[in-house]
Amino acid sequence: MLALGLGAGYWLASRIDSLSIEAHLPEHRLDDKKSEDRQPLFYRHPMNPEITSPVAAKDSMGMDYIPVYADEQTASEPGTVRIDPVTVQNIGVRTARATRTTLSRNVRAVGRVDYDEERIVRLHPKTAGWIESLHVDKTGQWVEKDTDLLSIYSPQLVAAQQEYILALQNQKILIDSPFESIRQGAEELLASSRKRLQLLDVPAHQLNELSDRQRITKSLHIHAPTDGIVIQIGAREGQYVTPDTEIFTIANIANVWVYADVYEYELPWIRPGDRAEIRLVGVPGRVFESRVEFIYPYAEKRTRTTRIRMVLDNAEGLLKPDMFADVKILTQKQFETLSIPSEAIIRSGTRNQVFVVREPGKFEPRRVKLGLDSDGQVAILDGLDEGEEIVVSAQFLIDSESKLREATAKMLEAPTQPQAESIPTLHDAEGHKHD
């Protein structure tokens, strides 16, 4: 009776302990206990998946090895994860489908108003000499075409005038010559002398005056070649100048350029011809419309941005060079683009990956090739088909389990001999060893 009571007590204690362990096991472990009729392929270490055992065992801390069954290794892709529906709900798994949508993005950048490079004139004298009088002597001054800018005395110009007067007198003398070659030579000499003065920028009115009066003028005028504002004066009265001297810099601001710096990740969106809206603090309430005229083929070294250029009509004179502007570029839309939420992507640095829902509770890792990014949506160039369901939340938890499964699958393909800890020495109740 005593032995019978001890035996019953031992059985009851072991039963209670077993129930207590089952109550604290994770759900996937409970599922495994419900499938005791299945035969595991092998057992893996609960902390290190590289350590396996062909039989049930415990590690050095007394934790049971985890059984691995055949149906867990039949996934179409290594790293596929199966999670029961309760766990899926508990960890907050949300999904979305890959759909074809229209992607668009408005690129904003800081712009700067500048002169139109095609309308800037840099004025140099054609001959060396001294500036006797400067008629336009202030930067910012507006000048019209043919405005008298300065008077210059040049020995070369004086000599050229003298040659022209002599050629003119010679032509008048020989105009009645009976020899045609002499008459023609006199006319060619006169034309050559006049052309030389024109090439030295002698204005037409002074050239006509010289022909009429036949009297040398000490100083000759230099006129403005275009309309614009004087943005630089490089010489003053009495200064000796040469053809290397830049006397005036004149810019026409009827049109102005607007530069904007665009970051690298926004550059793929922009194309020449895209519409742009430009706002300036100095001109409140006005929106100037333009288009992207040019994208520079190089990036700024310090800011790592690429410059784009737009042209604005400035007939009203409201736009001043070096003004700052707020530029909004309305880029072209990408129609029928396969896209998914950007939060679904796991970016590891070397690859981009998503988890595809193969069936309820079954998640397969998939590499994808990404395209443009717009307002939380990412274009998919390769790796997904339209309508496929992907995980958009809790994917990092799934990813950690996926890597564990993938390591296990690789070990299954090339099983190794278990280490010393993998096959512990088992003892029965009487202390006898068993292999």
Are the C-beta atoms of residues 346 and 395 closer than 8 Å to each other? yes
Residue 340 has pLDDT above 60, yes or no: yes
Percent above pLDDT 70 for the chain: 81
Min mean pLDDT across 109-118, 200-209, 273-282, 295-304 is at 200-209
Residue 294 has pLDDT above 60, yes or no: yes
Quote the longest CA-to-CA distance of the chain: 165
* Domains of the chain by residue range: 1-33, 38-80+401-426, 94-102+335-393, 106-116+252-332, 125-246
- Residue-wise pLDDT tens digits, 30-64: 344 444 566 787 887 877 766 888 888 888 888 88
How far apart (Å, rounded) are the C-alpha atoms in residues 357 and 161? 93
How far apart (Å, rounded) are the C-alpha atoms in residues 270 and 245? 42
pLDDT score for 24: 39
- Residue-wise pLDDT tens digits, 358-415: 888 888 888 899 888 877 888 898 989 898 999 988 877 777 767 766 665 566 554 4
- Residue-wise pLDDT tens digits, 228-258: 999 999 999 999 999 999 999 999 999 999 9
pTM over 0.85: no
Tell me the one-letter amino acid at 127: T
329 pLDDT band, cuts 50/70/90, is very high
Question: What CATH code would you report for 94-102+335-393?
Answer: 2.40.420.20
- Residue-wise pLDDT tens digits, 72-120: 554 446 677 777 778 778 888 888 898 888 887 889 999 999 999 999 9
The CATH label, of 2.40.40.20, 3.30.70.20, 2.40.30.170, 2.40.50.100, for the domain at 106-116+252-332 is: 2.40.30.170
Are the C-beta atoms of residues 221 and 266 closer than 8 Å to each other? no
pLDDT score for 123: 93
Give counts: helices (H), strands (E), the chain: 7, 29
- DSSP-derived letter for residue 201 is T
pLDDT score for 1: 64
pLDDT score for 434: 47
Are the C-beta atoms of residues 364 and 350 closer than 8 Å to each other? no
How far apart (Å, rounded) are the C-alpha atoms in residues 373 and 378? 4
